[in-house]
Amino acid sequence: MSVQFKPVLWNRNKIIYDAVLLSAVFIYILAYLRIGPMFQEVSLPLDGAILRMRAFGSCAFLLLTCALCIGPLARIDNRFLPLLYNRRHLGVMTASVASVHASYVLGWYFAFSPVDPYVALLAANTSYGQLLGFPFEAFGVFALVVLLALAFTSHDFWLSFLSPPVWKTLHMGLYFAYGSIVLHIVLGSLQAASDPVFTTVVTICVVAVCSLHLIAVRLGSQADAAMALVPAGDTAKPWVEACKIDDIEDKRAVVVALGDDERVAIFRHKETLSAVSNVCAHQNGPLGEGKIIADCITCPWHGYMYRLADGRSPPPFEEKISTYRLKLKGDLVLLDPEALPPGTYVEPVKLGRRK
């Protein structure tokens, strides 16, 4: 491989995460198969294949809804941060469950087709010019392709190979997959739904995803407004007033905004201050929302660690982030807005040296 490859390091938290996730999927599928028929207002019992098809399809939709809610929930309340850990496993599980759903669809509706089942799936309905009867299958196929592509590129090898910004942009496709699944459901299953249960569940899920993201964006905008920096005005290229010393909790950080796309995390540790980029080199996670563990900044998303003075990960890891210079003016913390190259050593500012 052209990029250094690091194997996945399994630990107790990952095992528990996956065990809980698998158990939840198993319990949901079992409950749907046992309880689902009670809510079906049909004259004849549903065939087992159709019931399993709906069980796995609804499970995939709920899993994807949960995956999209975790991010904004963690920004709204840091008690949800543990759910971000290995969220990629949730995405891979969603793709797997959706694949089983698709296999039941092909096996039930197109098993005896004279043409290839995949061709028959897309050619059976071509009424693209009308709303009722629109070929909703196309939205399902698109969503499945996106989910599988994201699942196959979820490993850290692809993150390193593509670079974090490109990888992150690629995985934003999850929102397009969710929108396609919603259209797939609305133009498909909901057209034939005779009871309000499924419609209500779908509506609640969509409203929850949209509402949580809007709340998280609003809170982020308010935080940025509160972090507006003021030039200190005592140098040729003005430093900025970042915060007051007492604003920073021990082993925590204050995040300040230098522009629309630049955030700096100022950490306090052992009566010293250090400033680094707020963006984790792993998945662009918000370092300023993490804390200091074992004398290293620890990303709240996946636990990547960086030394305070130089922004480098401890050996044998090689990730590094940009650092910034700080100085004190009384109780004010002044920040040099010019980022230093990733991994540059900057002597931490000692709180005893106040000017």
| pLDDT tens readout for residues 87-130 | 888 999 999 999 999 999 888 887 777 777 777 777 777 777 77
List C-alpha distances in Å: 135 to 37, 183, 208, 326.
26, 10, 27, 59
Give every CB contact of residue 335 below 8 A, 6+ residues apart in sequence: 229, 239, 240, 241, 242, 256, 264, 266, 275, 324, 325, 326
What does the pLDDT read at residue 4? 47
What does the pLDDT read at residue 229? 54
What does the pLDDT read at residue 108? 81
What does the pLDDT read at residue 163? 80
Half-sphere exposure of 289 (CA within 13 A, CB side): 21
DSSP β-bridge partners for residue 272: 269, 350
What does the pLDDT read at residue 193? 64
Rounded Cα distance between 172 and 336, Å, is 32
What does the pLDDT read at residue 7? 44
Tokens of 318: 């090689």
Tokens of 239: 């430093």
What does the pLDDT read at residue 226? 55
Report the chain's terminal Cα–Cα distance, integer Å. Answer: 52
For residue 251, the SS3 value is coil
What does the pLDDT read at residue 99? 94
- pLDDT, one tens digit per residue, over 230-277 is 555 544 558 888 888 888 999 999 988 887 678 899 999 988 999 999
What residue ranges of the chain have pLDDT lower than 50? 1-8, 234-235, 354-355
Rounded Cα distance between 111 and 104, Å, is 10
